Amino acid sequence: LVRDNRVVYGGGATELACSLAVTKEADKISTLEQYAMRAFSDALEAIPLALAENSGLNPIQTVADIKSRQVAEGNPRLGVDCMDRGIND
């Protein structure tokens, strides 16, 4: 029985979208709290990094490509495609 039909996208897409949002908000803060927010943002990237590495991809390049495409296209559904080895929506 499905009571809530909202979808959470896989492949680290959600974590990267949240990481980008937290980083954007951290840029607006001038106090020491910004460092905690940036550390949290970096921690969110660990999941897509692990997915890319375990898929045999270059993890840093893959995550950088996904983040840049999410920002450029405004598409938070982009994530690591572990099956076809690349980036997919």
pLDDT tens profile 33-52:
999 999 999 999 999 999 98
Distance between CA 55 and CA 73 in Å, rounded?
24
Amino acid making up residue 21 = A
Task: Report the mean per-residue pLDDT for the chain.
Answer: 86
**To the nearest whole percent, how much of the chain has pLDDT over 90?**
52
Range in 4-8, 37-41, 73-77 the model is least confident about: 4-8
Q: Residue 1: is its pLDDT beyond 60?
A: no
DSSP H/E element including 59: helix 59-73
